[in-house]
Structure 1
Amino acid sequence: MKSFHTLALSATFVFAIAAPSFAGPIESACLRSDRKGANRQLCGCIQQVADMTLRGADQRKAAGFFRDPDRAQKVKMSKSKSDDAFWDRYKAFGEQAEAYCAS
């Protein structure tokens, strides 16, 4: 029983230390981008807003816009109902990220 508790505490400790180093898709794309002002603090803030406002699939789709900005324009101009719904969520995310992370 003692070894189980030791193992559980060790696993919890390792996870607590390692967890902050995992960047989400938006943060990773932001950090890899050549955008002026992109830094760990700003990109992390934007990821936090993404975590509150976008589903995982939406985050991955939005992260692709950092690599291919033309793709964002194609999605925005798309006549697809799913792209329209995504764009509404993405636009709301962008507005919230700007308000929350601008400083």
Structure 2
Amino acid sequence: MISDDVKVWLIIGVLALGTFISRFSFLGLIGDRELPEWILRHLRYTAVAVLPALIAPVVLFPPATNGEVDPARLSAAIVTLAVGVWTRNVLWAIVLGAATLYGMLYLTGGFG
């Protein structure tokens, strides 16, 4: 029977190998070649596709409230999105979104 330590290190090794292979396929094999225009066009939208996928679960099912929708986090996300679209300034969107979050947490008693 394999001990728990061996299992953990085996999993870490397999994940490290998988990560290396996926990164090497782009950087090592095609890193110095010119990519076709259609691939470059699709790669421009990677951040736009990934960022909402990372943020939406935290806003709609926040761990701080055990998965319940929280008005403070939802309003902060709406303000951040609105300011970002309106001003096209990431810094203002972050600052006003954070101010909205802390203000709403203060008003709703979410700090404790």
Give the TM-score normalised by the residue count of structure 1. Answer: 0.32
Larger Rg over CA atoms: 2
Q: Per chain length, whose mean CA-contact separation is higher, i.e. which structure has more relative contact order (CA < 8 Å, sep 6+)? A: 1
Give the TM-score normalised by the residue count of structure 2. Answer: 0.30
